[in-house]
Amino acid sequence: MTVLRSYAGGSWITPADEGRPVLDAVTGEEVARVSSAGVDLAAALDHGRSAGGPALRELTFHQRAAQLKALGSVLREHRDELYALSARTGATLADAKFDVDGGIGVLLSYASRARRELPNDTVYVEGPTEPLGKGGTFAGQHILTPLRGVAVQINAFNFPVWGPLEKFAPAFIAGVPSLVKPATQTAYLTARLAELMIGSGLLPEGSLQLVCGSVGGMFEHLTEQDLVSFTGSAATARQLRANPAVVGRSVRFNAEADSLNCSILGPDAREGTPEFDLYVRQLVTEMTVKAGQKCTAIRRALVPAVLADEVTGAARERLAQVVVGSPAADGVGMGALASLEQREEVRRSVKALLSGARLVFGDPEHVDVAGASAERGAFISPLLLRADDAERPEPHEVEAFGPVATIIGYDGAAQVVELAARGRGSLAGSVVTSDAGFAREVVLGVAPWHGRLLVLDREDAAESTGHGSPASPARWSWASLPGTAGCWCWTARTRPSRPGTGHRCRYSSTAVPAGPAAARRWAACAASCTTCSARRCRPARGCSRR
């Protein structure tokens, strides 16, 4: 048994009590105990403000970026250890790579973007100088400077590595110290990550603190310069946001909670078209990757009513091939949920969904499991539902945070836009169609409810990173960092060694959104490439103009 330590106020602290047990998601054995008893939370905040903040602010954006990059290299060397711990959370090796490699990729991407887009200075000058007086003696300029507080990062259980890294990296670049609070269920993995990060010796003291266990008592000590990035349930978010200190001192609070993401099939995508296959494959992938425990996973499959039977049949066929079981067993395509409590939660949600839909694949109470016990481990079958009445509220309101999706039929673009909006705001949505006119109508119609939208078709499928894991920055600008960096995960895909160089060039493969500044990016890309000879490394795809 391991009692997880916290790192606060400059030292590792062993909890003052026995703590709460956390069980292995696959075997049910105790993995660790978690408690924050004995951690002085107010002192931890003060330490961040008085030690971490000043140390970070001494560095320029580029110097911070260089430290992040070095940190990414250190973490890469410990990937196998992190994968092994991930397996105890129920994650298959593919799930673990998604979380671990994705997290390290985010870290490195922030480092490279900072070098490309921010000055080698401690202040970010945003936009052009604007004349404010006719005589030219009075002008204006936006500048961005680091907040003097602490970025309190409360993370969800589903991405124990990616979650903390994607919040820590932008805060670090921005010059704001982080205090990371992992979700108890998977805290042992984040705690190991933090040990590696702090143990690397690369981070200025106070720039990263870790509190395992409750941080409830911390909120009353938050100030106007602190900020909170929360990922978790909507109910907890509501409760924290209403904290008197948060309200009274206007503490910046960003919540990233439940999301009833939809994936829309176009009327053109009949059975036999590449788009139909892409749609079904993506739906099943989103249901089973990380056992559906992704804030961006598809919950609502909105398909033309006339195609609903075909989609249901094709999805059932694919789902039937998914082997559920221990990450260690052969051929397993889907692991366990993060905990037995989580399984109960999913079962409760599915029960609620069944008031408005019927099961067309899977049994919430039973699943065949390879290499483990279905009862002691937090296993559940993929569950596909079908709502015969699109108007029923449940599929649009109840999020089952597991391998669960509901097929809902629609008639026409206007109705599908209206149905999508019933999710009341989503992180990610996708439209699968090759009809550009339909894509335009639906994208413009549902965009106000979405952070990110993917239009998938036969042209972009090969390079697309899919509904749930964007490759390009989904929603951020430097101006909003680190406050609103939530679960807007993006991965930096590395590509194989370039012929003749023997190096991997990250910059050439980070997908840069096409736009009027493409040429500028292209050149900036070439200039900033430090992983290989800048002049030989020609950013190709993504940065190129064609």
Partner 1 sequence: MQRTAVQASPRVLAAVTGRWVPGAARSTDGVHPFRKSLAELRPGDAVVAGPRRVTMEDIEHFAEFTGDTFYAHLDEEAAKANPLFGGRVAHGYLVVSFAAGLFVQPDPGPVLANYGLENLRFLTPVRPGDELTVTLTCKQIIPREDAPHGEVRWDADVTNQAGQSVATYDVLTLVAKQWPPADRAGR
For the CB of residue 464, give the shortest distance to partner 1 in the complex, in Å. 7
Residue 73: count other Cβ atoms within 10 Å of its Cβ. 13
Which of 93, 514, 528, 540 lies at the binding interface for partner 1 (CB under 8 A)? 514
Instruction: Rank residues 414 and 436 by Cβ distance to partner 1 and give the closer one.
Output: 436
Which of 460, 479, 501, 533 lies at the binding interface for partner 1 (CB under 8 A)? 460
113 belongs to the binding site for partner 1 (CB under 8 A): no
For the CB of residue 532, give the shortest distance to partner 1 in the complex, in Å. 17
DSSP summary character for residue 350 = H
Instruction: Rank residues 266 and 327 by Cβ distance to partner 1 and give the closer one.
Output: 266
CB 440 within 8 A of CB 447: no
Q: Which stretch binds partner 1 (CB under 8 A): 88-96, 145-153, 174-182, 507-515?
A: 507-515
CB 35 within 8 A of CB 75: no
536 belongs to the binding site for partner 1 (CB under 8 A): no
Closest CA to 284 of 317, 239, 250: 317
Instruction: Rank residues 37 and 514 by Cβ distance to partner 1 and give the closer one.
Output: 514
Which of 238, 424, 520, 536 lies at the binding interface for partner 1 (CB under 8 A)? 520
For residue 180, what are its two tokens? Answer: 């990371």
Which of 449, 478, 528, 530 lies at the binding interface for partner 1 (CB under 8 A)? 449
For residue 61, what are its two tokens? Answer: 């954006």
For the CB of residue 449, give the shortest distance to partner 1 in the complex, in Å. 8
For the CB of residue 446, give the shortest distance to partner 1 in the complex, in Å. 9
CB 43 within 8 A of CB 10: no
450 belongs to the binding site for partner 1 (CB under 8 A): yes
- Choosing from 166, 212, 256, 487, the catalytic residue is 256
Residue 381: count other Cβ atoms within 10 Å of its Cβ. 23
CB 14 within 8 A of CB 39: no
340 belongs to the binding site for partner 1 (CB under 8 A): no
Closest CA to 366 of 356, 384, 348, 379: 379
For the CB of residue 430, give the shortest distance to partner 1 in the complex, in Å. 9
Give, to the nearest 10 degrees, the angle between helix 162-174 and helix 187-199.
40
Task: Give the H or E element holding residue 443.
Answer: helix 436-446
474 belongs to the binding site for partner 1 (CB under 8 A): yes
Which of 132, 235, 247, 447 lies at the binding interface for partner 1 (CB under 8 A)? 447
Instruction: Rank residues 92 and 464 by Cβ distance to partner 1 and give the closer one.
Output: 464
For the CB of residue 176, give the shortest distance to partner 1 in the complex, in Å. 22
Which three-class secondary structure state does DSSP give residue 176? Answer: coil
Instruction: Rank residues 125 and 436 by Cβ distance to partner 1 and give the closer one.
Output: 436
Which of 122, 200, 233, 472 lies at the binding interface for partner 1 (CB under 8 A)? 472
Closest CA to 226 of 148, 316, 331, 143: 148
Instruction: Rank residues 340 and 514 by Cβ distance to partner 1 and give the closer one.
Output: 514
455 belongs to the binding site for partner 1 (CB under 8 A): yes
Binding mask 404-443 for partner 1 (x = CB under 8 A): --------------------------------xx-xx--x
How many chain residues bind partner 1 (CB under 8 A)? 41
* Residue 132 backbone phi and psi in degrees, to 5: -110, -15
CA within 13 Å, CB half, 201: 0
479 belongs to the binding site for partner 1 (CB under 8 A): no
Which of 377, 473, 483, 486 lies at the binding interface for partner 1 (CB under 8 A)? 473
528 belongs to the binding site for partner 1 (CB under 8 A): no
Count of H-run helices and E-run strands, the chain:
16, 19
Instruction: Rank residues 395 and 542 by Cβ distance to partner 1 and give the closer one.
Output: 542
Measure the CA–CA gap between 162 and 184, rounded to whole angstroms: 16
Instruction: Rank residues 194 and 257 by Cβ distance to partner 1 and give the closer one.
Output: 257
Q: What angle do CA 411, 414, 416 make, to 5 degrees?
A: 60
CB 356 within 8 A of CB 390: no
267 belongs to the binding site for partner 1 (CB under 8 A): no
Q: Which stretch binds partner 1 (CB under 8 A): 64-72, 130-138, 393-401, 508-516?
A: 508-516
Which of 25, 346, 454, 537 lies at the binding interface for partner 1 (CB under 8 A)? 454
Instruction: Rank residues 224 and 459 by Cβ distance to partner 1 and give the closer one.
Output: 459
Residue 18, classified by CB atoms within 10 Å of its CB into exposed (0-12), middle (13-18) or buried (19+), is exposed
Catalytic residue status for 256: yes
Which of 464, 491, 509, 510 lies at the binding interface for partner 1 (CB under 8 A)? 464
Measure the CA–CA gap between 366 and 421, rounded to whole angstroms: 33
Torsion, Cα 76 81 86 89, to 10 degrees, reads -150
Instruction: Rank residues 335 and 470 by Cβ distance to partner 1 and give the closer one.
Output: 470
**Strands (DSSP E) found in 353-394:** 358-361, 383-387
- The side-by-side arrangement of strands in the sheet containing 20-23 is 2-3, 30-34, 20-23
- Choosing from 262, 295, 487, 489, the catalytic residue is 295
516 belongs to the binding site for partner 1 (CB under 8 A): yes
Which of 97, 475, 498, 504 lies at the binding interface for partner 1 (CB under 8 A)? 475
459 belongs to the binding site for partner 1 (CB under 8 A): yes
CB 543 within 8 A of CB 522: yes
Residues whose CB is less than 8 angstroms from the CB of residue 313 and which lie 6 or more positions away in sequence, other chains included: none
Task: Give the H or E element holding residue 125.
Answer: strand 124-131
Which of 164, 470, 482, 483 lies at the binding interface for partner 1 (CB under 8 A)? 470
**Strands (DSSP E) found in 438-500:** 450-456
What is the contact surface with partner 1 in residues (CB under 8 A)?
Answer: 436-437, 439-440, 443-444, 447-457, 459-460, 464, 470-475, 513-520, 522-523, 526, 535, 544-546
| Active-site residue list | 256, 295
